[in-house]
Amino acid sequence: MNAVVFELGDEYGPYKTIHVFNQRLGVRGILVIDNVAIGPAIGGLRMAKDVTLAECARLARAMTLKNAAAGLAHGGGKSVLMADPAMPIGKKEDVIRAFAHALRTEDQYIFGPDMGTNEQCMAWVRDEIGRSVGLPKALGGIPLDELGATGYGVAAAAEVAQDFCDVTLTKATMAIQGFGSVGMHAARFLARDGVTLIAASDSKGTVYSPEGLDIESLITLKHEGRSVVDSDRGSKLARDDIVSVQADIWIPAARPDVIRMDNVGKMKSKLIVQGANIPVTTDAEVALHEAGVLIIPDFIANAGGVICAAMEYQGMDENRAFEIIRNKVSENTRIVLSNARQRHTTPRQAATSLARERVTAAMDTHRFGLY
């Protein structure tokens, strides 16, 4: 067991790994605090039957880099509970409260929501130990999916990208894959900048109109639990046909690995702003870069949600939080795209270097580096 934990380590962490077990309550959980050189770790609590230590450690590292790249005063961590998130609510409350209580003295980790947990779960954690983000509104939470914090950041990234590619927002068209919390708000905010939505997809299919789609009516359909293909406007295409739509800006906001070597040749857009996490495989991303497509990598473009959560933790209201999302995402996009241009690298390489440089600089200020 020791060997497994230590084999996961490198110069950045993980600094601390804690297993929590309670047979009577059915608690089987792990906390990985990866690196807190920049500040206390923020990272989600994932609840799923098949989560592992290795997954938890990988996600904790992703949070170290994402928080550093976002310019937040937070390190990275993650926690997992090996359990069915659809268990009866009373039992779920007991398990989450017991797990949080066991970690009550780990004040360098702040819980957030992730797969299998939500704002209600974060309210239990807050009540138990006082440290969580992604809270309900009644507790000072900022409802980031409802307000579109991540989509707002995606739009801010696209605004900066204009200076680095042949796209002018006021004349541009966009296609959005995955018209959910991230996608619909990205569409709404970019439309304010003058961009025309010509295609949108969800798990049921794609709606397409070169003259432009009505964003508000598509949002209404989704809120009614229907699909974008139920719209009475535009033509209806297969779900994955959105990949080959001729739009200036393409925004993936659904699933990982949707652009791969087998379909990358269909892509006709000049700018891809990654709302989803890892929507393009590594080799396809390099192929697009070499073909002159500008890509804003996920952890720069979709940082609006985590920035919003960190601002909530500092007690800010939604207006101030949105101002900070715009400032941070714009600034980081500009740094990443300028560095990529100067150093002749991909934007992802530039973004990863930026995050590592920030973590390393913070580590150099500590006697023990990681903490």
What does the binding site for ligand NAD look like in residue numbers (CB under 6 A)?
A: 144-145, 150, 177-183, 201-203, 239, 253-255, 275-277, 302, 305
DSSP 195: P
Bridge partners (DSSP) listed for residue 174: 197, 249
Q: Of 14 and 304, which CB lies nearer to ligand NAD in the complex structure?
A: 304
Q: Of 95 and 276, which CB lies nearer to ligand NAD in the complex structure?
A: 276
Shortest distance, position 205 Cβ to ligand NAD, whole Å: 8
Q: How far apart are CA 168 and CA 173, in angstroms?
A: 9
Q: Are 212 and 196 in contact (CB under 8 A)?
A: yes
Q: Are 67 and 75 in contact (CB under 8 A)?
A: yes
Shortest distance, position 145 Cβ to ligand NAD, whole Å: 5
Q: In what order do the strands lie in the sheet with 109-113?
A: 16-22, 27-35, 75-82, 41-48, 109-113
Q: Of 79 and 177, which CB lies nearer to ligand NAD in the complex structure?
A: 177
Give the residue numbers marked as catalytic. 78
Q: Of 29 and 134, which CB lies nearer to ligand NAD in the complex structure?
A: 134
Shortest distance, position 8 Cβ to ligand NAD, whole Å: 23
Q: How far apart are CA 224 and CA 240, in angstroms?
A: 23
Single-letter amino acid, residue 321: A
Give the CB-nearest residue to ligand NAD.
180
Shortest distance, position 258 Cβ to ligand NAD, whole Å: 7
Q: Of 13 and 305, which CB lies nearer to ligand NAD in the complex structure?
A: 305
Q: How far apart are CA 213 and CA 93, in angstroms?
A: 43
Shortest distance, position 277 Cβ to ligand NAD, whole Å: 5
- Run of H or E including 218: helix 215-223
Burial class (CB in 10 A: 0-12, 13-18, 19+), 364: exposed
